[in-house]
Amino acid sequence: MENTPLIDPFARPIDYLRVSVTDRCDFRCTYCMAEHMQFLPKKELLTLEELDRLCSTFIRLGVKKLRITGGEPLVRRDIMTFFRSIARHLDTGDLRELTLTTNGSQLAKFADDLAALGMKRINVSLDTLDADKFAKITRWGRLEQVLKGLEAAKRAGLKVKINTVALKGFNEDELFTLIDWCAAEGFDLTFIEVMPMGEMGEDLRLDQYWPLSDVRKAMAERFTLTDLAESTGGPARYVRLEESGQKIGFITPLTHNFCENCNRVRVTCTGELFMCLGQEDNADLRAPLRASEDDAALEAAIREAISRKPKGHDFDYSRQTVSGQMSRHMSHTGG
């Protein structure tokens, strides 16, 4: 098998892989899942061994950063077996970073173990610091449990970035509360525009849409904002708040397409490879994984898919209609 790195048709090296390990979650956030989700039958999900093979193949092909997502990854049974196994690539230096996006509910249980195997940072999704509002938006979640998890992560030495979805009429009044809290806790903070995915019914996204240009404007009334040139190769653009020294990120899939330097692909928990979060085109990696114990067919399927990676996506909320809208839930692709 050749080990030529993965380069897409636009000469972008693909060195960042996001893998969903489960579609299940212990929350039901309104913008991510339906309340009564039909979860996938177990046999459709990649086993932990298959996930290891898949990630290891991508790492052999040049992936340097691996982010594990869900659903909520830490509710997957025996997930630490997978983490401990895949961490061998950190030891060899083939993988530069192993990280996790979580809702924080299970961190009190797992933070020490994650830090021990070489994880340095995690992203925690948190949209409000108000316990009642938290219960409302997550439907099943308890804020206190997440705050305990964050404490455990801090104690374990994990660097925490809080991801907050900006939701009009929901957390507008908490903008500065969240900023001040993150400053006090030593957490980074990134705001994310709500995306047009999943059922657009009862909680119509257009009603929730709070453009980050407005968030930024509100912040500028209290802070001096300095644009930072740095890029993590990801979609966030960063500013520094001069008064507190904090770094705040903005992820704006709608008002700014962040595709030019896209270095990432995503694999769902059933082994579908999505070359772009905002496009439906995908490739089935589960079939080649299960067809042979040899990785040649899997590698060929990955290379073929990367050759179809598009230049960008096309979300747009203009004129009160949603173009580029997709039918799958965020929980399906893994955030």
Which helix (H) or strand (E) segment holds residue 17: the answer is strand 16-20
239 is in an annotated binding site: no
Token pair 């077996």: residue: 81
First-residue to last-residue Cα distance in the chain: 31
67 is in an annotated binding site: yes
318 is in an annotated binding site: no
Q: How far is CA 307 from the centre of its chain?
A: 23
276 is in an annotated binding site: yes
In whole angstroms, how large is the CA radius of gyration of the chain?
A: 19
Q: Please provide residue 7's backbone torsions phi and psi, each rounded to the nearest 5 degrees.
A: -125, 130
209 is in an annotated binding site: no
55 is in an annotated binding site: no
Cβ pair 203, 31 in contact under 8 A: yes
266 is in an annotated binding site: yes
125 is in an annotated binding site: yes
182 is in an annotated binding site: no
Rounded to whole angstroms, the maximal C-alpha distance in the chain is: 59
Whole-number Å distance between alpha carbons of 106 and 330: 20
Which amino acid does the sequence have at 55?
A: C
Token representation of residue 163: 């991801």
Cβ pair 129, 170 in contact under 8 A: no
309 is in an annotated binding site: no
Whole-number Å distance between alpha carbons of 206 and 203: 9
Whole-number Å distance between alpha carbons of 328 and 301: 23
Whole-number Å distance between alpha carbons of 164 and 175: 10
269 is in an annotated binding site: no
Cβ pair 330, 69 in contact under 8 A: no
264 is in an annotated binding site: yes
Which segments are annotated as binding site for GTP?
18, 67, 101, 161, 264-266
**Binding annotation for [4Fe-4S] cluster:** 25, 29, 32, 259, 262, 276
Residue numbers belonging to the annotated binding site: 18, 25, 29, 31-32, 67, 71, 101, 125, 161, 195, 259, 262, 264-266, 276
Known binding-site positions for S-adenosyl-L-methionine: 31, 71, 125, 195
